[in-house]
């Protein structure tokens, strides 16, 4: 791997990490732009490269492009695996817990969770608390979908390279056998 390729990989990862950290529409859009740019670059590589690089680009584009195109349909997005993963791993996260005897509970609950997403739970010290939860943000789901498309595309590219190498070996073997027979 060349140094410029490592620098590009670090830059792409830093955009994804910044998007997860910031959780806003700008960084989510940057990840979406990054994903579509990489897929479109793979399509250009299909046209301008040959051999293993072309095989990787074909596999990447065939796996990532439909994933990105279909993932933003509302029907697909509601049942998307990234949604379940993000909700299991990161959400809903506890914002704060307030004692049931706190007189300012309603004011603080409305300030911290405007959607009214709170519940009364008994926590580890057997006292009752009002637990304020924040649901996973829509930006996290969009970032997860875009990064999932890139990972899925990389898997498709790797499979395509394996198939290309096996076909190359088979062609080489058949050429050797043909030369030995003559």
The DSSP string of 51-98 is THHHHHHHHHHHHHHHHHHHHTSHHHHHT-HHHHHHHHHT-SEEEEEE
Apex 34 CA angle, 33 and 37, nearest 5: 85
pLDDT of residue 95: 47
Inter-residue contact 23 to 86 (CB < 8 Å): no
Q: Is the pLDDT score of 94 beyond 60? A: no
Domain boundaries, the chain: 3-87+137-181, 92-134
> Per-residue confidence at 105, pLDDT binned at 50, 70, 90?
low
d(CA 78, CA 99): 35
Return the higher-pLDDT residue of 79 and 89. Answer: 79
pLDDT of residue 5: 80
Give the pair of three-digit tokens for residue 84.
């379940």
Average pLDDT of every residue of the chain: 77
Pairing of strands 128-134, 93-99: antiparallel
Give the pair of three-digit tokens for residue 97.
């817990």
Query: Which range, 6-10, 59-63, 106-110, has the best average confidence (pLDDT)?
Result: 59-63
pLDDT of residue 154: 92
d(CA 50, CA 165): 13
Nearest to 69 by CA among 151, 145, 141, 154: 145
> Per-residue confidence at 178, pLDDT binned at 50, 70, 90?
confident
């Amino acid at each position: 791997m060349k140094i410029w390729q490592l620098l590009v990989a670090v830059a792409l990862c830093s955009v994804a990490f910044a998007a997860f950290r910031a959780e806003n529409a700008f960084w989510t859009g940057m990840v979406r732009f990054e994903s579509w740019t990489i897929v479109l670059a793979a399509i250009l590589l299909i046209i301008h490269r040959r051999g293993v690089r072309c095989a990787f680009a074909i596999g990447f584009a065939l796996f990532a492009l439909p994933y990105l195109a279909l993932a933003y349909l509302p029907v697909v997005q509601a049942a998307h695996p990234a949604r379940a993963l993000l909700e299991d791993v990161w959400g809903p996260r506890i914002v704060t817990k307030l004692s049931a005897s706190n007189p300012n509970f309603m004011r603080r609950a409305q300030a911290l969770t405007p959607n009214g997403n709170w519940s009364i739970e008994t926590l580890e010290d057997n006292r009752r608390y009002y637990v304020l939860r924040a649901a996973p943000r829509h930006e996290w789901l969009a970032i997860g979908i875009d990064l999932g498309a890139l990972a899925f595309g990389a898997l498709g590219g790797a499979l395509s390279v394996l198939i290309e190498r096996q076909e190359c070996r088979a062609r080489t073997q058949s050429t050797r056998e043909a030369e030995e027979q003559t």
